Amino acid sequence: MNRPLLLLTAFPLGLVSALAFAPLGWWPLMPLAFAALAFLIGRAGSLPKALLTGWLFGVGQFVLGLNWIATAFTYQAAMPAWLGWVAVVLLSFYLAIYPALATGLAWRFGRRSRTALVLALAAGWTLAEYLRATMFTGFAWNPVGVVLIDTSARGWAQLVGTYGLSALVVLIGGLFLQLFVRPEPRQASPRVIGLVVAVSVGIVWLLPLSLVQNRAFGPRPAIRVVQPNIGQEDKWREGLEEEAFQRLASLSRIPAGSPPTLLLWPEVAVPVAFQLEGPPPQRLTTPLPPARRAGGLLRPGSDLLVTGAFALVVDRNARLVGSTNSVMPISASGQIAGRYDKAHLVPYGEYLPMRPLLSAIGLSQLAPGEGDTLEGPGPRNLSLPGWGSMGVQVCYEIIFSGQVVDPRHRPDFLFNPSNDAWFGRWGPPQHLAQARLRAAEEGLPIIRSTPTGISAVIGADGRLLHSLPWRTAGAIDADLPAPRPPTFFSRHGNAIPLTLALLLLILAVGIDARARYRRHI
């Protein structure tokens, strides 16, 4: 296949595949796109053409799927809005390297057999997504397995994780390819292939239902998730602090006679510091007036507030070192009972790489503030008497499969405060879908609170139990969902999909070698 035809086919095929992601969610397009992609790889004719095919497919998928990134630049006065689309395209050029690696691997070990090609592509895509999530701080947004989140097939996530679920999507595409494309020599008849496809699809969709483990629980603690609907365009304007407090207060009033309630506010719910941290070694912390004011909304001895907030960190000379993006439990007296600091920071969003150089040419980080956000130590739990142990993942930390729970101390639930107001119309539902995958993987309920949506209560099987629409003010009153027993994936992590990828690749190499041997006899 010549290069012009690759340009005319692979790139639009990637665009079509992106329609399978939220908010559209036309998930069958993803396995169909992989069926077509495998067909193109099989006719690439050389390794460079196979690599180009995957790269063009990836560019199309990322440019459309990540269009929300351009919206983030519209909130930064120091940079022109058009630079957002330049950033989307350049980021897509880089991210598409990983699909190119997968298609190159598929061609190298599958060019003699369609079955081997599909198996190698599934293995390659699994490895490529894992690398994309870990290289250069990682960017794990929109793994292809997330398109199955609204199907019963999401149950496989508790066994093989997100990247194993992505391999499943590729394999489903391979079944379509075998069913609808003319059989290869010595291949089974279309009727046999059709039967295999039907049985395979049945297993994929029905078996996960039998993997669900139910547990009996008594009454569950009460929670209230608050969504004040404060847009990013207003977040840092003068006078917003008072308006934000008023909106949050009106949505946080607990009626007399209600059971003890855990209030959950979004990331940086109020754009002022809640805590001051001194220099090492003591690092003494002091609650600031906004924390005491927030605590004043609670009924003494009954309720607890957990909010996204930031702390200011100063040195021995009382000079500002930086700030943290944190989650803080606050009592009615205004005391802060612990703190989680965001660990997986967003480059160019919360800190500026090579700051001296980039600042000199006029670039700045998207999140306003003096200096960079300081990095936290990683997954940690906060103890909330009456509600159990709470794990925390701030904003996009939740998208990293296998990295959201302290492996030594399994929490009872995860809290994911986020500011999705940056993310336009496509970003929030994509973010929610990935949070639901973490719940299914870990067997833990997840609570999300965001300023503009989509706030949600997610069951331990990944089901969406309650949610508030985008761009709507409101609150969710619910019982805290129960956790499930530790899943197979939660015990072994990404060693599972990586092992699966290795086995698929070994199988592909064997089938390809057998096909080569047959051609020489």
Given 49, 395, 397, 441, the catalytic residue: 395
What are 350's strand-pairing partners?
A: none
Output the DSSP codes for 428-475. HHHHHHHHHHHHHHHT--EEEE-SSS--EEE-TTS-EEEE--TT--EE
Q: What residue type is assigned to position 195 of the chain?
A: L
Contact criterion met (CB below 8 Å) for 458 and 165:
no
What are 336's strand-pairing partners?
A: 330
Contact criterion met (CB below 8 Å) for 355 and 340:
no
- Neighbour count for residue 91 (Cβ, 10 Å): 16
Q: CA–CA separation, 469 vs 432, rounded Å?
A: 12
Cα→Cα distances 27→22, 62, 146, 407, 449, Å: 9, 16, 9, 32, 26
- 395 flagged as catalytic: yes
3-state secondary structure 108-119: HHHCCCHHHHHH
Nearest to 104 by CA among 37, 182, 179: 37
* Peptide linkage before 23 cis (omega within 30 of 0): yes
Q: What are the residues whose beta carbons fall under 8 Å from the beta carbon of 445, sequence distance 6 or more?
A: 413, 414, 439, 457, 458, 459, 460, 480, 481, 482, 483
- 49 flagged as catalytic: no
Given 267, 277, 397, 442, the catalytic residue: 267
What are 275's strand-pairing partners?
A: 287, 311
- 267 flagged as catalytic: yes
* SS3 state at 394: coil
Nearest to 88 by CA among 7, 24, 18: 18
Given 49, 129, 277, 342, the catalytic residue: 342
**Active site residues per annotation:** 267, 342, 395
